[in-house]
Structure 1
Amino acid sequence: MYKIIIVDDEPIVREGIRNRISWADHGFECVGVSENGQEALGMIAHFRPDVVMTDIYMPFMDGLELSRHVAEHYPGTKMIILTGYDDFEYAQQAVKLQVTDFILKPITSAELREVLDKLKVQMDEERGHLEHLNRLKQQLNESLPLLKERFLERMATMALNEWEIRSKMAYFQIPLSGPLFVTIATDMDEWPSEDQGTDNELYSFAVYNIIQEIMDKEPDSAVFRYKGNKVITILSGSGEEEIYTLAQERAEEIRASIKRYLSVTVSVGIGTICRELKDIRHSCRASVAALEYRLLIGSDQVVSISDLENRRSKPLYDGAESENSLISAIKTGSPEDVDRSIGRIISELQNASISIEQCYVRVLRTMLAVLQALLEIGCNETELFGKETRLLTELYSFRSLEEIEFWLKDMCGKAMIGVAETRRNISRNQISEAVQFIHHNYDDIELSVKMVSSRIFMSASYFSSLFKAHTGKTFVEYVTGYRMEKAKELLKHSSLKTYEIATKTGYQDAQYFSVLFKKCTGDTPTEYRQKMMVDGA
């Protein structure tokens, strides 16, 4: 829908044009009318119309001056001149101002609709042509760099033959003369959070751009984005020591420059040296693998896969003691002990020279031990951690031991909450069972704390404290109160003697029953019955 504004100093003309045309039927929307060119300028600035239909002769600013201003500031806007002056000079000026149409008044509705339909066809064609040109221009600007990156990524991941590699390198003008090659992989350690108002795509491009600028100093190099947000650099050289030293220097320069200019850290991995272009994929895989070791040695580092593979291995203790301490802390509900146990586990991993896989296995084993303990207690894993929680998926997404430590503390914190809630539910169910037992056996003279607590497999002392916590009353207070309520019902609705009611409510001594009843109600059983009879009458 194209927007149109009508400018005419005659109210009858402008309102007549606006009201006589069904604009939407012709693909237009009349967004406003104005009585002079000066007033129309503000309206044009606000609505940015596609078409301005204006009278040529108006006070303050005439149609030609308005057209001149629109042509200068809004070159894409179409101008239609309406005039009652059949003046060739005006027509010439209108043509010079690239006015779309020049129409003599008076004009009928049919004629105006015809002008609008013709104008819409023209504007549709122009818009389609412009969009097509923009698409071609965009494709032209983007295709070669994109195809070049796609080729480099294919070369870094797939087995291509030597002829294909060399022909494509010549086509894209990639300067890797060799005879030795090595790759450098760069990856952000942590992306800024969304609440900081940052654009990750912008950061990704900035990292790529910095690396490109650094590698511009090396004529025998290539830079491309790899599998999302990683950036791979290929270097070539003539000697192993030379190319390895160069890779170390450029990797350190990349790390330091990104930290300085973007205030974020990256890890940089150096792969193995290879002698064939087709083997660059092996060096690339090695450089990416080197990045994974930041999990153990920390972020903001330059990591060479060769150094890691040659290091001596230190033993890793089985960790059973640390895991048992963690589970015990979760069960006792001690956050301090939980944090301390997790810290010990992370410290053991940091101090041992192990592979990434061994690290993941150890952490996963710890979490499985925690889940097993929760299962034994009766906790619901799904309720605690959510249906979407996938331990392996989450674990393999972490980039440092600090992240794993934070994750373990979060998971174990939820586990503690689950243990406490499960125990509360179990206790609640046990006390509920005890209350039901009391309600069914309140008439038993032998009813006692020991009898009820043994019924729910709980010590008498623990039962007593738990019972009061859940009911707000001691065992004796609750039983006495319940028995007195039953005694009231019998006094009100039966003709049983006091000693009979005492027996039916668990009291062998009728006199003791009467004393208790008066203490609870303020009346003797006889007085209470008499009051109920009066109230009933």
Structure 2
Amino acid sequence: MGAYTVLLVDDEEEVIQVIMKKINWEGLGFSVVGYANNGVKALEMVEEFQPDVVMTDIKMPYMDGLELSNHIKADYPATKILIFTGFDEFEYAKEAIHLDIGEYILKPVNSVELMNVFTQLKIKLDQEISEKRNVETLQKYYMESLPLLQANFYSTLIEGRIREDEVSAYLSNYQISLAGPFFCCLVIYASPSQIPKEMNPLLLSMSVQKQAQERLGEKWQAKCFSYLGNTVLIVQLKNENEISELTDECDRFCKYAYRIIGAIVTVGIGQVCGDILQLSQSYTGAREAVSYRVIYGTSRAINIKEIAPQEISKSGVSNDAELSYLFRTIRLNSASDIIEAVDKYLDHIFSSSLSLQQHHIAIMELISELYKFCMNNEIVMEEFSEDMRKLYNSLLDLEPNGLRKWLVDIGLSFHEKLTSARSRSTKSFVDKAKEYVRNNYSDEDLSLDSICEVLGLSNSYFSTIFKKETGNSFIGYLTDYRTDQASRQLIETNEKSYMIARNVGYTDPNYFSYVFKRRFGVSPSKYRTEHTKE
């Protein structure tokens, strides 16, 4: 394990500089990733760096240390918090006991005392990491995993092999509670390409499963089991809108798994359903979402509804493995992969053991599945909007090379249209977000959470795509837009600064001045003076 990371938070710059210079952080096994002079900035840095330790003052502008600690404990419970404060604030600090604060340190900070605190903290962190990576603990957990009957039921359920009249008996006999009222399947894929040296692939998988149960199991009443080499969770939701919150939590879990046990984890999230017998469809969607890691990257959660809403098959594809592989390749892979998949499929079509009648049936099946693929993915192709019998007859007359060229062209065309549709989809909701900002920037409650609720997207997916499309975070874009509007009002109107602050969504004029100066380098009043000189 490398050095543990520390974020320092205090509105007195000289205090932070003294702490940074007088403490031998490297010798203690820590490194300072940065510092912030207010709680709002600190929370942004926590989200970006996810430090192991946050050392914060209590009284600060915009957001005090206790409010900051509340946010950190809610979203990053593994982060340790140290509070340092003046003697007259100590009684106030005691209010933080329910936050499980690690230590209270009185100002002025004594370097010897501080070194002792961090020495003990490193021992505690080392013990926690050791417990999570302990091979014997993982082996014991593997032996005490879910009972065989329950695991078999879950596997059979996502395979779609449970009849409706059997459900009640299974749930009663196996003492399983699936109250819902809504359900969703998660597929957790741990990459075998990076395994900590003290583990083997099986133990890594078990470690990821154990962490998933701890981080996701209780809140989402999840049923966790292993299936086809992956960890699968059946989660329960109170309403369909909770899927965005679940996606964000899964995204944080992926980053947590990498930081704690060194595992590269991707979580695929299937569609929400209101009947446990539909979990087989949700599982299929979750497994397909994991496949999209080749496009959207690893160490993140991928919600199939968000990344490919128009690509979820409503009726499944052919049972033929080569045809199924071809459609999957058209969705996800490159042109050369599509050509290879076409060849693999046609090797099956033109097999010497295939009779002429079987060949005709295969061509009919191919046309049917291509047509369904078009319909399910909202692809408009002239060849599939004309006389289907004419298309069928023309393909029967083609020799192998002619059919191969036709199928390659169709596959590449599908691939291009799907890629274009994905691009339009992401640009569409980014444009909607920008338009919403233009119409609502004066609303003080406008935030990342509220825009994601309006768009029906998870924070993690929206933030990733917005940054990719605009080169800026959503909060950065919102702040820039608000300060741009404020700068115009400063020049074009005689409104007081505090009124302009309200006009652009800031109820605290001091914080508005802080944000404005950070953007333009001068205070609002000085900006007005400089730009209204005759």
TMscore range, shorter length: 0.3 to 0.5
* Higher-Rg member (1/2): 1
